[in-house]
């Protein structure tokens, strides 16, 4: 692994690893926690309801449910999970849905984080010990992780919580997901920066836009933002009921 790719082989997997696989021509990635014996626990939204907006986005962001379009029969280990909702356990093949396997990295340096221009691949936050990660994933498999939301509470948010125990405690539009943060950072760089009017050259505009994007991504990272707190997994279901 390195700056260019987090791709790994299956033989390198260890229980407690946060893994992901790109969907829809690298538009979006689906994340989960590998729990051993070829199984992955992950957070899903039923196919066609990713954003629950009733728009084309629901078709573009079919990332969560395990898809077995190349098979005539359901998976012998998982059954038909294409209509699954919430936290589920799937075999690695169903989780990947024909895609490649990637490992999400923790405790990276700020320089390395910024060098990874695409969000949703690493964080500066530290992972907890494997036994704590597996305990959270297994507990949430039985008790749920609240309602799925593509920007506030998605599959990457689930995996990051399992690894760190951190939850956002403020009511803002973006959760812990690096993918969501990148989308908002890109939008901010394009339309929200007054600095874009301070230079007329294309090179200057590109530099300002890149700088805004990097800063927005970094301050949204779970490892540096100040609006997060360590929350015991046993309280997650209680919090979900209160919402």
Residue 147 near residue 241 (C-beta atoms within 8 A): no
Closest of 185, 187, 213 to residue 115, by C-alpha: 213
70 contacts: CB under 8 Å, gap ≥ 6? 98
Between CA 132 and CA 163 the distance in angstroms is 8
Q: Which residues of 106-134 are buried (b: 16+ CB within 10 A; e: fewer)?
A: bebeeeebeebeebbbbbbbebbeeebbb
Tell me which of 89, 122, 155, 162 is the catalytic residue.
155
* Residue ranges of E strands in 24-85: 28-36, 39-44
Give yes or no: 30 in active site: yes
Determine what percent of the chain falls in helix, strand and coil, rounding each to the nearest 5. Answer: 35, 15, 45
31, 42, 78, 122: the catalytic one is: 42
Whether 155 is catalytic is: yes
Read off the tokens for 211: 């700088």
* 31 catalytic residue (yes or no): no
φ and ψ at 165, to 5 degrees?
A: 75, 10
- Which of 30, 31, 122, 162 is catalytic? The answer is 30
Active centre residues (catalytic): 30, 42, 155
């Amino acid at each position: 692994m390195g700056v260019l790719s987090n791709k790994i082989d299956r033989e390198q997997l260890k229980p407690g690893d946060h893994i992901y696989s790109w969907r829809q021509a690298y538009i979006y990635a689906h994340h989960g926690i590998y729990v051993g014996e070829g199984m992955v626990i992950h957070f899903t939204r039923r196919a066609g309801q990713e954003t629950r907006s009733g728009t084309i986005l629901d078709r573009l962001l079919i990332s969560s449910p395990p898809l077995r379009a190349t098979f005539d029969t359901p998976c012998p280990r998982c059954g038909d999970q294409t209509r699954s909702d919430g936290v589920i356990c799937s075999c690695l093949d169903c989780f990947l849905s024909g895609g490649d396997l990637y490992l999400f990295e923790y405790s990276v340096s700020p320089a390395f984080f910024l060098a990874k221009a695409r969000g949703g691949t690493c964080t500066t936050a530290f992972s907890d010990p494997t036994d704590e990660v597996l305990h959270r994933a297994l507990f949430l498999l039985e008790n749920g992780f609240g309602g799925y939301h593509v920007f506030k509470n998605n599959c990457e948010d689930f995996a990051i919580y399992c690894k760190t125990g951190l939850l956002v405690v403020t009511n803002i539009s973006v959760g812990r997901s690096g993918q969501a943060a990148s989308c908002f950072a890109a939008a901010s760089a394009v339309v929200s920066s007054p600095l874009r009017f301070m230079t007329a050259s294309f090179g200057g505009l590109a530099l300002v836009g890149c700088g805004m994007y990097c800063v927005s991504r970094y301050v949204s990272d779970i490892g540096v933002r100040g609006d997060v707190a360590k929350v015991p997994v046993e309280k997650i279901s209680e919090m979900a009921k209160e919402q």
